[in-house]
Amino acid sequence: MKASWLILAAFLMVGFAYSLVTPAFETPDEPFHYAFARHVAQGNGLPVQDPQSPGLWAQEGSQAPLYYLITGVATAWIDQSDFEQIAVHNPRANIGDPLYPGNKNFMLHSGQWRALQGANLALHVGRWLSLLMGAFTLWCIHRLAQLVFPNSRSLPLAAMALAAVIPQFLFLSASFSNDNAVIAASAFTLFWLARLLAKADDTAISRWEWSVLGVALGLAALSKLQGLGLIPLSGMVVLFLAWRRRDWRILPVSLIFVGAPALLIAGWWYWRNIALYGDWSGLSHLMDINGRRQEPLTWRNFWPEFDGLRYSAWGVFGWFNILLPDWFYKLMDALTVVGLLGALLATITALRPAAPRPSPLAPRPLLLLWLWLGMMAVLLLYWTMQATGSQGRLLFPALASVVILLTAGFDFWLRQLSQFWQRSFWIGLLALMLSMSIYALGWLLPNAYFAPPPVTAIDDKATPVNIRYGGDGALRLLAVSVDRERVRVGETVPVTLYLQSSAPLDDDYQLFLQLLDENGLEIANLTTHPGWGRNPTTLWTPGAIYADHYLLQVTERIDERSPVAARLYVGFIDPATEASGSYLPLPAYSADGEEITPIVGGIVVEPLNAPGRSALADPVGSEFGGVIWLDSAEIALSEDRRFLHVNLLWEAIGAPAADYTMFVHVVDDAGNRIGGFDRPPAGNRFPTSLWRTHDRVVSQFSVDFNEPLPPGDYEVWVGLYESDSAGARRLPVTAPGNVHTGDGQVQLAVLRAAS
């Protein structure tokens, strides 16, 4: 008994820490659960759902009301008028994408420590009530496990401890959520059903025992729709008891003494749904607000959702966007398979009438656990077919079944080992899961929500830019550091911004980082509040320097003829334009007060598929200045003889030291230049000074002669010269013997214009 109280005490301590460390409204749907309870606390009764105007409680207003009635009454004495002031939504919140590195905070000011008063106090009172429900769930699991393992003192404690250290259960138990009510009601109902099954067949079941079951079913049905699944489960238990005892009077007695309290407690709410919505469950309005599945559930889209279900059964925090280490999930997958397989074999052994040695398991409660787990899986599958977003917490009404069956399965395999190894396994497993819970509490959650402290100095590798934004120039970008010179499409660029304000800021400014191609089009864009959502500007300390680290992903495909020298643009959005959706930038100024375009750096973006060698029809094989190779060419005169279409494939065989300009000259048979073109090989998108070995560029352009060429022969020459050199100094050419060369140029073709 002392050990069970120690487990409960440890659970309450860690859960209480979770309730404090997790910022307000940073658990799934918490602001909507809270708004429902607040509506009750203000004396407004239950909300009436309207999909066109869902209210602050959103889809949660369709939920069964027991949890909200309890928390509403418990918080009615608190002035919660500041709810909408502290519940400021982060417009860039990352919901449901744990691999995205930023904006984990659903609320904009989650990094701000708040006193336990007003709406924040009411929220935490609800969280602490949830924690007590979690502790009651553990008590029920322990009592239920005692019925499953009647001859063991350690295994019920192991099952209880296993549930207590599941990171997701701790996180959920410390949140303002109605899931905690249905989990507790389900655990107690399972315990009571197992208690009835464990009674000797010749021992009468009293009316008060049936009434307790009725109260439990009523509370479960009033907690969440999942609780209704316990009604058919209880019906099967009643039928079994009547058959086993050969006493069919059990049926009318149980129907009266179970059904009456259940209907009295929960029936009114389902009747209310029929009267208001014509739908006894209220699910139609819930899904109208929350969203229905748009495509039928298939094997292809089931498995990705199943991955999310598995992960979130063990631990996915925040708004489904903070993960534990990947290896932990793989290990728990393996242990779950091993444990449930062992539980299945242990169940078969317990049911064998002529087993070589008696089973340590009570078969009836054990079968009850399997049956409830199977029913919960079917209910979850049904819900998944109606809506998207399966989460592990939806399986937690069967938490008692899961942990006790896993305990039975592990024990089945461990019986073959010595006591030392059995204890070592349990100590190791529980220590691992507790360490993951503490790791999430002490590292993952604080780093997801609380901005790092200001830095004392700017890194020496950063480039000073000293840009000021807005009319008063109080918002400043001091320096920028870009940690990669080159990326490919789909990769990320690490960027660090050193930000500062010279005075307190009254607005929460969003900043944006963009990579722009030569035409000013975005190929990468990131818009967020500073600190990747964690450090809104109204929380800044004037004069402090904040080092903001970002990963800017190149998402747009680029023209694959060459890389592009992308420009890094850093700006802030004018808050006055956000309401209209125009999102115009604040004006930017240099340190001298001159208005500028805040281009603060550049990076080379490479295409996914660079052109291959000899990609064009006619090989050239000429070398310019020992650093650039002209691989091949395609030259074509248009049918009307007015245009010459030229395609050239260049490759860097070294690192050019300067920017070179390409020239193409078309000369007639008298040596007169009649047309041509001077431009960098890649135009404005990729200057040659940025080329590196193996870079390949396709030059595509046309020479316009303005009128059809007269009949005759014409030579096409190409060369490179230094863009900034006096006299346009050409690069020397080395070419194979079959290629004609001249003064720093190569003959590409001889064209014959026929009449």
Query: Per-residue pLDDT averaged across 360-379, rounded?
Result: 92
Q: Is 718 within 8 Å of 628 (Cβ atoms)?
A: no
- Phi, psi (degrees; rounded to nearest 5) at 465: -130, -35
According to the model, what pLDDT value does residue 355 have?
57
In sequence order, which residues have a C-beta less than 8 Å from that of residue 162 and are 6 or more positions away? 403, 406, 407, 429, 430, 433
pLDDT per position as a tens digit, 581-620: 888 999 999 988 899 999 999 999 999 888 887 877 888 8
The pLDDT confidence band at residue 627, using thresholds 50, 70 and 90, is very high
According to the model, what pLDDT value does residue 61 have?
86
According to the model, what pLDDT value does residue 293 have?
63
Query: Per-residue pLDDT averaged across 478-488, rounded?
Result: 94
Under DSSP, the state recorded for 44 is -
According to the model, what pLDDT value does residue 366 have?
95
Is the CA virtual torsion 737, 738, 740, 745 positive or negative? negative
Token pair 């316009």 in the structure block, residue: 704
Q: What angle do CA 486, 499, 90 make, to 5 degrees?
A: 90
pLDDT per position as a tens digit, 726-746: 667 899 999 887 788 888 899
According to the model, what pLDDT value does residue 286 have?
72
According to the model, what pLDDT value does residue 671 have?
86
User: Is 439's pLDDT higher than 90?
Assistant: yes
Q: Is 563 within 8 Å of 695 (Cβ atoms)?
A: yes
The pLDDT confidence band at residue 202, using thresholds 50, 70 and 90, is confident
Residue 174: CB atoms within 10 A of its CB come to 27
The pLDDT confidence band at residue 386, using thresholds 50, 70 and 90, is low
According to the model, what pLDDT value does residue 294 have?
63
Give bridge partners of residue 479 from the DSSP assignment.
Answer: 464, 498
Closest CA to 184 of 234, 238, 222: 222
Q: CA 21: distance to chain centroid?
A: 20
pLDDT per position as a tens digit, 158-184: 999 999 999 999 999 999 999 999 999
Q: In angstroms, rounded to a whole number, what is the distance separating the alpha carbons of residues 542 and 38?
A: 37
Locate 276 and state its tokens: 């208001």
pLDDT per position as a tens digit, 118-153: 999 999 999 999 999 999 999 999 999 999 999 999
Residue 80 CB-half CA count within 13 A:
27
Q: In angstroms, rounded to a whole number, what is the distance separating the alpha carbons of residues 130 and 722?
A: 73
Residue 728: CB atoms within 10 A of its CB come to 14
433 Rama sector, left if φ>0, alpha if ψ -120 to 50, beta otherwise: alpha
124 to 2, 23, 118, 172, 465: CA distances (angstroms)? 29, 10, 10, 13, 45
Locate 732 and state its tokens: 């020397």
Longest CA–CA separation in the chain, Å: 121
Closest CA to 466 of 588, 566, 569, 587: 588
According to the model, what pLDDT value does residue 338 have?
96
User: Is 443's pLDDT higher than 90?
Assistant: yes
Closest CA to 305 of 391, 228, 229, 219: 391
The residue type of 494 is: P
User: Is 384's pLDDT higher than 80?
Assistant: no
pLDDT per position as a tens digit, 663-722: 999 998 888 999 998 999 998 899 999 999 999 999 998 999 888 888 889 999 999 999
Locate 635 and state its tokens: 């030259």
Q: In angstroms, rounded to a whole number, what is the distance separating the alpha carbons of residues 396 and 64?
A: 17
> What is the SS3 string spanning 664-702?
EEEEECCCCEEEEEEECCCCCCCCHHHCCCCCEEEEEEE
Q: What's the mean per-residue pLDDT of the chain?
A: 91
User: Is 302's pLDDT higher than 70?
Assistant: no
User: Is 354's pLDDT higher than 70?
Assistant: no
Q: In angstroms, rounded to a whole number, what is the distance separating the alpha carbons of residues 66 and 76?
A: 15
Q: Is 66 within 8 Å of 150 (Cβ atoms)?
A: no
pLDDT per position as a tens digit, 455-469: 999 999 999 999 999
Are β-strands 564-572 and 475-482 bridged in parallel, bridged antiparallel, or unpaired? unpaired
Is the CA virtual torsion 104, 109, 112, 117 positive or negative? negative
Query: Per-residue pLDDT averaged across 499-510, rounded?
Result: 95
Pick from 5-14, 390-399, 463-472, 668-677 the range whose average pLDDT is largest. Answer: 5-14
Q: In angstroms, rounded to a whole number, what is the distance separating the alpha carbons of residues 501 and 158?
A: 54
Q: How many residues does the chain have?
A: 755
Locate 25 and state its tokens: 């409204």
